[in-house]
Amino acid sequence: MGKQTDGPMDVATALVRTSFLVDAVYAEASGDYGITPQQGNLLCVLMAQPHGMGELGGMLRLAKSSLTGLVDRTARRGLVRRETAPDDGRAVVIALTEEGAEVAAEFYADACRRIAALTDGLDEEARTGLTALLEQVVTENHVPEVFTGTAE
């Protein structure tokens, strides 16, 4: 690993390093399922319900061309499909296939377990406090609901 600083980290440094740590664990989990982290994000977003391309682009913070490529690659894998929107016959929504729903559920549970394990060195009180603080940061910054809670 990289060189550690001698003193305590400031909040920005701690959050950025935590982001790198979580991203690495998430990437490892997605690789174990034969998907990219971006495909993992897409599958997790679609677990709740199908979404239109515009909505997905906003949630995943992807430009239209990048999202189209992501959906195309994930569809070729048989994990998602394009469907006619129920409320507008001209619009398309992206939905999980049966296989996609299975992969999404398994990946979601595994990724949640792996990410939660990053706090195994904390006692219950510290874990609860960290969770409350992170929830506040997420809520105040309107982070899209990709992971909605524990998958136990």
3-42 tens-digit pLDDT: 565 689 999 999 999 999 999 999 999 999 999 999 999 9
Q: Which amino acid is at 13?
A: T
CATH, residue 64: 1.10.10.10
Residue 26 domain-assigned (yes or no):
yes
User: pLDDT at position 7, please?
Assistant: 80
User: pLDDT at position 151, please?
Assistant: 47
Neighbours of 133 (CB within 10 A): 10
Residue 61 domain-assigned (yes or no):
yes
Residue 1 domain-assigned (yes or no):
no
Residue 101 domain-assigned (yes or no):
yes
Beta bridge mates, 93: 52, 83
Residue 125 domain-assigned (yes or no):
yes
Residue 4 domain-assigned (yes or no):
no
- Predicted structure pTM score: 0.85
Total of domains in the chain: 1
Spans of the chain below 70 pLDDT? 1-6, 144-152
Alpha-carbon gap, residue 59 to 53, rounded angstroms: 10
Residue 97 domain-assigned (yes or no):
yes
Which structural domain range is residue 93 located in? 11-140
Alpha-carbon gap, residue 101 to 97, rounded angstroms: 6
Residue 48 domain-assigned (yes or no):
yes
- What are the angstrom distances between the C-alpha of 68 and each of 29, 31, 57, 71, 144? 24, 21, 9, 5, 19
